Structure 1
Amino acid sequence: MHLFRLLAPLALFLATVPVQAQPPEEAGWWDNDWWFEGVLPAPQTLAVRTEWVEVSGEDVDIPALVARPDDGKRYPAVLFQHGRRGLDELIQLHVKRLAARGFVVLAPDIYSARFVEKFPIEHDYALEQDVGVALDALLERTDISSSRACLYSHTRGGYYTLKVAVTQQRQERDVACYVSYYPHMQDPNAPEPMQVYRYAPEADELTIPTLIFIGEEEQYQRRRGIEMAVQSLQEKGRPARLVVYPGVGRGFDFRPDSVRTFADDLAAKDAIWRATRFMRRHLQ
């Protein structure tokens, strides 16, 4: 009994010590300037103008939102690919927030082009070609400063852009990096076991720098595939990083104010800041 009384406080202390998988320096969030000197990052914010353009494909015309700094200067190119939600008002705000960081952003509305309703279940493979056409249109613009573009996406858009990079063989030649928020890393038409226990084989063929964001409360069947894909890339020595935000789930980058939380906002601000630094580095 006396031994139990002596060891109980120690056991309680050990039970409350958080488990840290890796040192903060290796986890990617440690900042010496902040910790030792008190320096906080001051992200660049530019006034943004937007316009709708039409991208001509082989059999469809694709409406696309273009957002860019409103100063006439040239900026690096980013292709923003929406997911199952489509390019609605909430997602258009994300496009503008990204452009304010100093990018020319082209966001094709591939669902409207083919009269696909929001939140489709099945995947139309023609959409992958439409994303490739939109990438061509972006790289042909005269107001971009980079010869390549970064692919930036969320949800099912992560699969569309993965296919453009790998299957269409655009990575390294036309694409400098891959950024995605909680991407669907599997063919949406694949059977259920493939959705839960596997990821798209194309993910293993990514060679460009890759940055993926998810929330700690991400759906299990989605998180599993993302984590396996990133782990596989890292084991191959590929430049891939996964950032996991505590206290948030899917949609933290666009959830509306009626349901938005402080954690959502912290994650969204941090993610776009990290994505900005990442893309600038690879679009130089």
Structure 2
Amino acid sequence: MNEPKTTPKISQAMVEAYDEYTHLTLDRRSFMDKLTKLAGSGAAAAIIAPMLAANSARAAIVAADDKRLRTKDVVFSGPAGDIKGYRAKLADVSGKLPAVIIIHENRGLNDHIRDVARRIALEGFVALAPDLLSTAGGTPSDEEKARDMIGALDPNAAIAEGVATIEYLKKDNGTNGKVGVVGFCWGGGVVNDLAVNSPDLGAGVAYYGRQPKAEDVAKIKAPLLLHYAGLDTRINAGIDAYKKALDDNGKTYEIYVYDGANHAFNNDTSEARYDKKAADLAWTRTIAFFKKNLS
């Protein structure tokens, strides 16, 4: 009789090793070597690695063919060429709606981010998720290649394309001219950059995003909502300096740190790092924040 298989336990050290691999300098082979040592065997590491990563096969929270929505792929002009994106809005609303841009993680515009756009659209917004890898050829299906492409992007070019997306939605006949932006991981850092660089931004929500330089905070006009994961020591190292700069410059902001949650806690396709309690609370705060500032 076969013994029942058990799922290996995922430790915080394993999560941190994955974070080092996806955001810093650890390569795939070194990551797997480290994970094998932490897991105790190569077999256990092989089971754990996909649990740490995002799984594109996991079901969407809002189906792609949800009849409540109208969705479509769009193309609009950017400073260096066409920008592709995914747009969603309520099907039964004809009036002008506030708009929200969704900035993807370092995996590019994938099905999870499209799902997030649909979730936001159901809340009464015109949602647009741009592919900030458009001018580099677009988001590939291979997420490791996408990470490499994101790493090779000129940060200033990404900011310029984000600003162009804000301007595109601000002038769109289907919007009320007010545009917010929400971003996750790499995209959270882009949200902070857009707050610095776009006086037309109506509201910004950054999930565990890299902070801007303190000397640039004075340029921020938009109110900000900043979500951080309690266990995310890499990103959280910049919170105090950012908070001081926001306070010193009299900016409007809210900061929440979700105890016990890991970086990427909102991403429900990542089994090991998703934290439903933190994600649900942050989402409620995010939607309320946009409704307050964009309506």
Structure-1-length-normalised TM-score: 0.70
Matched AA of 2:229: G
Using the alignment, how far apart are the partners of 1:245 and 1:142 within structure 2? Answer: 38
Are 2:287 and 1:273 aligned?
A: no
Q: Report the Cα offset of residue 98 of structure 1.
A: 1.6
CA separation of 1:226/1:154 partners in 2, compared to 1, >3 Å: closer, same or farther? farther
Contact 2:217/2:249 (<8 A) preserved: no
Q: Report the Cα distance in structure 2 between the residues aligned to 1:110 and 1:225, rounded to whole angstroms.
A: 25
- Counting aligned pairs with the same residue, the percent is 26
CA 1:81/1:176 → structure 2, altered by over 3 Å: closer, same or farther? Answer: same
Partner in structure 2 of residue 233 of structure 1 = 246
Partner of 2:237: helix, strand, or coil?
Answer: helix
Q: Which runs of 5+ in 1 are unaligned?
A: 1-45, 187-198
After TM superposition, the score normalised by the length of structure 2 is 0.68
Contact 2:169 2:177 in 1 (8 A): no
The answer to whether the 8 A contact 1:213-1:243 is kept is: yes
- 1:215 aligned to which of 224, 229, 241: 229
1:282: how far off?
1.1
Q: 1:166 pairs with 180, 183, 196, which one?
A: 196
Residues in 2 aligned to 1:227 and 1:48: alpha-carbon distance in whole angstroms: 40
Residue 206 of structure 2 contacts residue 227 of structure 2 at CA under 8 Å; is this kept in 1? yes
Task: State how far apart, in whole Å, the 2-side matches of 1:130 and 1:236 are.
Answer: 27
1:177 matched to 2:203: yes
SS at match of 1:76: strand
Say if 1:115 and 1:203 are closer, same or farther in 2 by CA, change over 3 A: farther
Q: Tell me whether 46-55 or 96-105 shows the greater mean CA deviation.
A: 46-55
The 2-side partners of 1:55 and 1:227 are apart by 38
Aligned length: 219
C-alpha displacement of 1:228:
2.2
User: Equivalents in 1 of 2:217, 2:137: separation in Å?
Assistant: 28
Match of 2:115 among 93, 100, 122: 93
Structure 1 residue 200 displacement after superposition: 5.4
CA contact (8 A) 1:210 1:239 kept: yes
The structure with the largest alpha-carbon Rg is: 1
Q: Supply the distance in 2 between the matched residues of 1:222 and 1:93 (Cα, whole angstroms).
A: 25
- Give, in whole Å, the separation in 2 of the partners of 1:277 and 1:138: 20
Residue number in structure 1 paired with 2:186: 156
Q: Which residue of 2 aligns with 1:70?
A: 91
RMSD between superposed Cα atoms in Å: 2.2
